[in-house]
Amino acid sequence: MFLFCSYSHSTMQTQNRQQRLAALRDTIANIERKPALAEMRARAFDGAADGFPRLPGGLLQDVCTDAVRNGGASLGFALGQVRTLFTPKRLAVLYLQLAADAQFFGLPYGPGLSSFGLDPAQLVIVRASDMQDLLWVAEEALACRAVAGIVADIGGAPEMLDFTASRRLSLRTAESGTSLFLLRYGADRPASAAHLRWHLAPHRSGRKPFDDRAPGPARWGLTLERGNTGQNTREWILEWTGNAFKSLPDRAGKTRQHPPGTPVSLPLPALLGNPISQTG
Amino acid sequence: MALDQQAQAAGLRLGQALADARALLPGLTVLEQDTGFLASAFAEFADWHSNASPLVGVLQDKAPFGDLVLDITGVAHLFGGEAAMLRMVLGRLRALGYSVAGAIAPTIGAAWAQSHFGSSGIIGSEQLSDALDKLPVAALRLDERQVSLLTQMGLTRIGALRTRPRKPMLARFGASLILRIDQAYGQIEERMTPRLPPADHFVERKFFEPISTLEDVLLTMEGLAQDLSQLLEAEGLGGQGFHLFLYRVDHKVMTLSLNAARLTRDAGHIASLFRHRAQRLEQEHYDPGFGIDLVRLAAASLDRLEPGQAGVFETDNGAKDIEQLTDRLASRLGPLSVLKTELVASHIPERAARLVPALTQQAQIAAAGEGDRDRPLRLLPQPEPVAISAEVPDGLPAAMIWRRQRYRLVKAAGPERISAEWWRSGERLKLVPAERPTPPAPGEAPKPLPYTPDLPLFDPMTGMRDYYIVEDGEGHRFWVFRLGLYGGAVHPVWYLHGVFP
């Protein structure tokens, strides 16, 4: 009896220690402002094993979509990610737009944010007069430690947002731990130093319960064009459930996850395994 | 308007015809007076006088320019007394080449009267009645008709007016005469409107050699922010509005004003706000002229501030950091560029959420609990007309053309009917049918009709909107509505109001 208890106690200690280590790692990364990318492999399994990865903060992400009519989808995708980045200290999300583009893109709508799953009181809308001011606002907001994410609507390919500017932004985001999402529209891909680049395409929604003809929950098709999330797959079909992204299997019925035969690398020890088996 | 000594010596009078003046002085040069330009130039010149007293105004009762009034309550001791202050102000104006007369008095009316019709001097509060009694009635800022009427009646001195019964004077000359008498003697308080925002908590720095670059000004401002912070801390106050006055050597003043989201006296925060504000100034028009010789930083909108709140250490939640961020953004972009959402209890979608400047302190109003309605993530500020084909009268939309693109709609939910808010439309409701008046019985008075306001009748059909959530074959989801009903007077029109995620 005594032996058995001590073993399980030590394995539970191992689990607690690992959790505590992970928490300490987070705190040290916060203080030292280490770039988040180095931690991404370790975090890749925060989400469900076959779901959309829960990406950490501190990333510059380009969300490209073909036309302005997909603006709601790209904003939803960005806000869905920002929602996972809220902590007790990081409570705000910023939305940036050029003041002249309000009618073209539309403005975030309070009751719409509530039905999406975000509290409209957390959103601050900034309307800049030109691109230079917008980039300045982005840098200022990145320097603030209380912002969880920034979403900026960039129409066209402005000259001010060239490779140098985007590299500067990517360094700032990595330093500060705040994520910056640039929503881009159009088919061409300007040179960008973003950590991740997504292509978002609209997808038909599923069924709404009790109403066959109504649109169901929002669905999008996402392709990771550039960057690495620590998972092998690069295409998802996501549905927004009001709280989180749900990855859906594609038409063929199998999840587009690990191609058969590829070994999956697990940097963390198997916490889900049988505790007793670790004593060996 | 006014004559200087040379003109008076030559024999010219106010209100003289041009031909008479030319007869007196054959070589007279005539220039047309640009009143607007002179008024604004004088006003800017007036601002410069605020280095003597913070409250300076241009008195425009009798002329658009030419009269300066300064409120020197509590400031005179800084210049060594009232006499010394008067000498200083008049002396430096005369050194600039102006012909000027001035007076100090307890009321604006008395000061005006003394300076225009008496000799430059000081009237104390005990000598007010005596001094005023001796002045002519024109010194009361009356119009010419009243003055001529008074002189015709033989009332030439103000003292004669003071003791007369008021009612006949009121009838004969109007209420303005009574008002002016009371204002001059101090029975009614008269206030001047200061040109620059008043601020009694200020710190300033004078320069022996004028500075001109913006960077120097900002460095000075940072030092002044420290001093102001200490001044406010000594009194336990915090400010919400801050003004930076830059006095140029050529007698003009530049003002930078900004507001903070909450009371603060943190020197670093104030300095960074002004730095951002100055960046905006740089692009517009920063013109130091020949240099700036006085920089003054003033705090306004003061209120008690507890000692613990002035520090900028790590806070428990990020609310203070967010407020400082919005302060910085608003100081550079303008207060209307940084907005937050305020939920309003209204069914009309564009009124249900209002964007207010993030700087406003908002009482935490809980949102009207309509959270179960599906609303789009993006709302267009103006609904855009679209061409929709749908079955009449209540069919779901089947095809749409928006911004010159066709969409084949496969799914639709709705309609959600939202009608106009009759209480805001200025129209009346028709709740009961109008009564037909019954003819009165013989011998009785007719009954009065019930009151119906003279407003147009509210027609619920015109403002009615039917909202649909539609989705096309590729997965684009929109929020469209139809304004009006089929079969009404006006053909209904379809609009697109928002985009769903």
Secondary structure (H, E, C), B383-425:
EEECEEEECCCCCCEEEEEECCEEEEEEEEEEEEEECCCHHHC
For residue B353, give the nearest of A71, A110, A202 by CB distance. A110
**For residue A113, what are its two tokens?**
């944010």
Chain B nearest-CA distance from A194, in A, is: 23
Q: Give the Cα separation of B416 and B369 in Å (integer).
A: 17
Q: Give the Cα separation of B56 and B54 in Å (integer).
A: 6
Per-residue pLDDT of chain B (501 residues; tens, 9 = 90+): 666 777 777 777 777 777 887 888 777 777 777 777 888 888 778 777 777 777 777 777 777 677 888 888 877 777 888 888 888 888 888 888 888 888 888 888 888 888 888 887 888 888 888 888 888 888 888 888 888 888 888 888 888 888 888 888 888 888 888 888 888 888 888 887 777 777 778 898 999 999 988 888 999 999 999 999 888 888 888 888 899 988 888 888 888 888 887 788 888 889 988 888 887 777 667 888 889 989 999 998 888 877 665 544 445 557 778 888 998 899 888 888 999 998 888 888 988 888 988 877 665 555 555 556 789 999 999 999 999 998 776 788 999 999 999 999 999 998 899 988 888 777 777 776 666 667 767 777 777 777 777 777 777 777 889 999 999 999 999 999 998 887 777 788 999 999 999
C-alpha neighbours within 13 Å on the C-beta side of residue B382: 6
Residue contact A107–B379, C-beta within 8 A: yes
A175 and A133 in a common domain: yes
Chain B nearest-CA distance from A226, in A, is: 23
pLDDT of residue B43: 79
Residue contact A91–B370, C-beta within 8 A: no
Residue contact B341–A102, C-beta within 8 A: no
Would A260 be classed as within a structural domain? no
A156 and A98 in a common domain: yes
A199 and A98 in a common domain: yes
Q: What one-letter code names the amino acid at A86?
A: F
A132 and A12 in a common domain: no
**For residue B267, what are its two tokens?**
């020197």
Q: Which of A146, A60, A156 is nearest to A104 (CA)?
A: A156
Instruction: Spell out, as residue ranges, where chain A has pLDDT lower than 70.
Output: 1-13, 26, 28-50, 251-280
Q: Give the Cα separation of B407 and B41 in Å (integer).
A: 61
pLDDT of residue A127: 95
**For residue A67, what are its two tokens?**
């036309």
A185 and A84 in a common domain: yes
The neighbouring-strand residues paired with B412 are: B470
Q: Which helix (H) or strand (E) holds B94?
A: helix B82-95
Q: Give the Cα separation of B456 and B424 in Å (integer).
A: 13
Output the CA torsion sign for B86, B88, B91, B96: negative
pLDDT tens per residue, range A162-214: 899 999 999 999 888 899 999 999 888 888 889 999 999 999 998 888 888 89
Q: Give the Cα separation of B236 and B147 in Å (integer).
A: 53
Would A166 be classed as within a structural domain? yes
Residue contact A109–B377, C-beta within 8 A: yes
Report DSSP state, residue B337: G
Output the CA torsion sign for B202, B207, B211, B216: negative
Our count of domains for chain A comes to: 2
What residues of B are in contact with residue A208 (Cβ under 8 Å)? 413
What residues of B are in contact with residue A73 (Cβ under 8 Å)? 501
A237 and A98 in a common domain: yes
Q: Which of B248, B255, B270 is nearest to B199 (CA)?
A: B255
pLDDT of residue B135: 86
A116 and A1 in a common domain: no
Contact B452/A185 with Cβ under 8 angstroms? no
Q: Give the Cα separation of B36 and B33 in Å (integer).
A: 9
Q: Which helix (H) or strand (E) holds B226?
A: helix B214-235
Residue in chain B lying closest to A67 (CA): B476
Q: Give the Cα separation of A139 and A160 in Å (integer).
A: 14
**For residue A125, what are its two tokens?**
């809308």
pLDDT tens per residue, range A265-278: 444 444 444 444 44
Contacts of B12 (CB under 8 A, 6+ apart): B3, B21, B24, B25
Contacts of B96 (CB under 8 A, 6+ apart): B251
Would A258 be classed as within a structural domain? no
What residues of A are in contact with residue B339 (Cβ under 8 Å)? 124-127
**For residue A85, what are its two tokens?**
């980045």
Report DSSP state, residue B428: B
pLDDT of residue A116: 92
What residues of A are in contact with residue B478 (Cβ under 8 Å)? 69
- Secondary structure class of B278 (helix, strand, coil): helix
The neighbouring-strand residues paired with B246 are: B254, B295
For residue B322, give the nearest of A92, A103, A127 by CB distance. A92
pLDDT of residue B379: 94
Residue contact B338–A124, C-beta within 8 A: yes
Q: Give the Cα separation of A162 and A173 in Å (integer).
A: 17
Would A149 be classed as within a structural domain? yes
Q: How many CB atoms lie within 10 A of CB B368?
A: 13
**For residue B328, what are its two tokens?**
């910085």
Q: Which of A174, A177, A128 is nearest to A153 (CA)?
A: A128
Contacts of B207 (CB under 8 A, 6+ apart): B292, B293, B294, B295
Q: What is the DSSP string of A204-221?
A: ---EETTEEEEE-S-EEE
A128 and A26 in a common domain: no
pLDDT of residue A165: 92
Q: Which of A209, A45, A137 is nearest to B326 (CA)?
A: A137
Contact B217/B205 with Cβ under 8 angstroms? no
Residue contact A116–B474, C-beta within 8 A: no
Contact B137/B157 with Cβ under 8 angstroms? yes
Place of tokens 């009612």: B167
Which structural domain range is residue A2 located in? 1-32
Report the CATH number of the B201-309+321-332 domain. 3.30.1490.100
- Secondary structure class of A235 (helix, strand, coil): strand
Q: Which of B305, B330, B329, B278 is nearest to B201 (CA)?
A: B305
Q: Which helix (H) or strand (E) holds B246?
A: strand B237-248
End-to-end CA distance of chain A: 18
A142 and A17 in a common domain: no
Q: What is the DSSP string of B9-55?
A: HHT--TT--HHHHHHH-TT-------HHHHHHHHHHHHHHGGGT-SE
A46 and A6 in a common domain: no
Report DSSP state, residue B489: S
Q: Give the Cα separation of A76 and A220 in Å (integer).
A: 10
CATH code, domain with A144: 3.40.50.300
Would A207 be classed as within a structural domain? yes
Q: Give the Cα separation of B472 and B407 in Å (integer).
A: 6
For residue A120, give the nearest of B343, B373, B411 by CB distance. B343
Global pTM value:
0.62
Residue contact A106–B498, C-beta within 8 A: yes
Q: Where are the domains of chain B?
A: 1-31, 37-185, 201-309+321-332, 338-373, 378-426+453-499
A210 and A82 in a common domain: yes
Selected residue of A68, A105, A113, A114 to mutate for chain B interface (largest B Cβ count, 10 A): A114
Residue contact B477–A123, C-beta within 8 A: no
What residues of B are in contact with residue A128 (Cβ under 8 Å)? 333, 337
Residue in chain A lying closest to B372 (CA): A115
Interface contacts A/B by beta carbons within 8 Å: 191
Chain A nearest-CA distance from B397, in A, is: 12
Chain A nearest-CA distance from B173, in A, is: 57
A21 and A82 in a common domain: no
